[in-house]
Amino acid sequence: MLLVKNIYKTFNPGTSNEMNLYQNLSISVKAGEFVTVIGSNGSGKSSFLNMIAGSIHADGGQIEFLGQDISLKKEHQRSTKIARVYQDPLKGTAPSLTILENLSMAANKGKPFNLKKGVNLKQINDFKLLLSRLNLNLEDKLETKVGLLSGGQRQALSLLMATIVEPQLLLLDEHTAALDPKTSELIINLTEALVHEKKLTTIMVTHNLKQAIEVGDRLIMFHKGKIILDINGEDKKNLTVSELINTFNTLHINNDLSDALLLI
Amino acid sequence: MLNIVIDVLVQGLAYGILAIGVTLSYKILDFADLTVDGSFPLGAVIAAVCLVNQVPITIAMFLAFVGGALAGVITGLIHVKLKITGLLSGILVMTGLYSINLMVGGNKSNIPVFNQATIFSIGSWVDEFDPSLRSAMVRFYPVLVVLIIVIILKLIMDWFLSTQIGYLIRITGDNPQLVTALGEDIGKTKIIALSLSNGIAALSGSVIMQLYRFYDLSMGSGTVVSGLAAVVLGLTLFSWIKSMKVTSIVILGSIVYRLSISIALALRLPPSNLKLMSALIFIGAIMINNGHLKEKLNQWLGGIKYVVSEKHL
């Protein structure tokens, strides 16, 4: 499904800020897998998503997706099949367009955008049904500009928009990190429901170790551009937060207290 | 007095075409496009040269539109392909267009079109009416012509903005990342919008040229400011009317802007100060729009309302 092969990436080459992130990074993701990704700041987990999505390009190596080499494809070409939800709830929606207009455009993804009406009134009932699942009363606010919604509402809408046309791969980039605990839980529940229902192949980066353990069926940990932990199946189900922290410590990770602190 | 009203209306509506074009780039696409300062006179010179050479006026105006659209495409390509900022791309094309406009005009910096029929020339059919009615018709005819053009353009623009491509342009100005997420090339969207915006600016130039019956190379300078002033004035004064579309708002803004200039002229300010006045009106409108002045105004008005209501009690 997704094959990341021998990736090399150096940021700011030739300058004093040169950062050699990936050296021969390889990983494969099977269809239908839900992978959670953890790691401290600068460990390369976000760049990993950026590389798959195409917003940064690797210096060497290959990314194979659905049996095709997509290394040279541009971000917008990949995004018809690879959907993404960002940490910033503002990034997934257009604020001056209404909910209806946002959903209509998202529902047309993968098809050509031309001089047809931007809003297809026939879809309104489908949209209402979709929105009613959120329990945020958005189904009565189809004509409301998205800019007037709260961050949580916008993130829920972003998630719907990313999956309304079923993507082959869903990338979640710490998509609950900017929300309050209650909304965060709502979004994560919605994520699990959508992923489960549509059997989406998903890669979710998160800062929250508890979330990384509870959600998904495979967990990988990045450190300094390397995958230092890759757990799935029964092992993942039995994993606990303290075990993870122990792993952290046994790996002599000194300056990365931030993740551990999250759990206190 | 009536003459002033007619002048304000004709000019306001004719510059309203420009305002619609400028709205597309500045307001909707969120792209500070200075190409307009070059594409506006480009439209004028293309139409003037066509008229002098007996090309039918509809074809002349169509060619003016195409010329402006091409200029917009070039700005877009420079911005998208060479990754030069939008502002600089516009300045580069605007600078280049100065020479192009001279070239199109046959190295003349002005071309009069006094003897040619324009869209504002009323036909001989008007002679059949009696003289008093006829003079009124001749006076109002330009208003009618330019009103029809503006309304047609407005309707086309409203329709365009409600299509999928129109939405993509709106999203580009709103949240560029989303356009990419929808699987569309954001560069393509920008180029389409810029070509349309500059085509409309050039069309406006061709109408203004026919109105003044004169093309002048320098007529482009300050186009952006006057176009934007109309947009900002319109949004400041009329955006509270919820049902009104942005196209109508900027057309009204354009009329208000021309009105304020007429008032300034009627106050015997020398016409040479016109550009300065444009800039000042623009700054004033921005200040109100930014809310600073609006707040002050509201406080002040609130005070009055308070006093009034106190009295009422």
DSSP states of B214-232: EEEGGGGTTHHHHHHHHHH
d(CA B210, CA B47): 8
At residue B241, the 3 state secondary structure works out as: coil
With cut-offs at 50, 70 and 90, classify the pLDDT of residue B312: very low
Cβ within 8 Å, pair B165-A114: yes
The predicted structure's pLDDT at residue A250 = 74
The predicted structure's pLDDT at residue B210 = 96
User: Where residue B162 sits, what CATH number does that domain have?
Assistant: 1.10.3470
Summarize pLDDT for B169-207 with one digit per residue, the tens: 999 999 999 999 999 999 999 999 999 999 999 999 999
pLDDT at B307 > cutoff 70: no
pLDDT at B295 > cutoff 80: no
Residues of chain B found within 8 Å of residue A77, distances taken between Cβ atoms: 183
Cβ within 8 Å, pair B180-A79: yes
What number of residues does chain B have?
313
Nearest-Cα distance to chain A for B22, in Å, is: 19
At residue A221, the 3 state secondary structure works out as: strand
Which of B175, B177, B183 minimises the CB distance to A109? B183
Spell out the long-range contacts of B93-98 with Cβ–Cβ below 8 A and sequence spacing 24 or more. B93/B35, B93/B38, B94/B34, B94/B35, B94/B36, B94/B37, B94/B38, B94/B220, B95/B38, B96/B38, B97/B35, B97/B38, B97/B39, B97/B41, B97/B42, B97/B71, B97/B220, B98/B38, B98/B217
pLDDT at A246 > cutoff 90: no
The predicted structure's pLDDT at residue B293 = 61
Total domains in the fold of chain B: 1
> CATH classification of A2-261 is 3.40.50.300, yes or no?
yes
Summarize pLDDT for B106-153 with one digit per residue, the tens: 999 999 999 888 999 887 787 788 888 888 888 899 999 999 999 999
Q: What is the pTM of this model?
A: 0.89
CB neighbour class for B122 (10 Å; exposed up to 12, middle 13-18, buried from 19): middle
Nearest-Cα distance to chain B for A162, in Å, is: 8
State the ipTM, two decimals.
0.90
Boundaries of every domain in chain A:
2-261
The predicted structure's pLDDT at residue A240 = 86
With cut-offs at 50, 70 and 90, classify the pLDDT of residue B302: low
- Percent of the residues in chain A that have a pLDDT greater than 70, as a whole number: 95
Residues of chain B found within 8 Å of residue A90, distances taken between Cβ atoms: 175
Structural domain including B179 reads 2-312
DSSP-derived secondary structure letter, B273: G
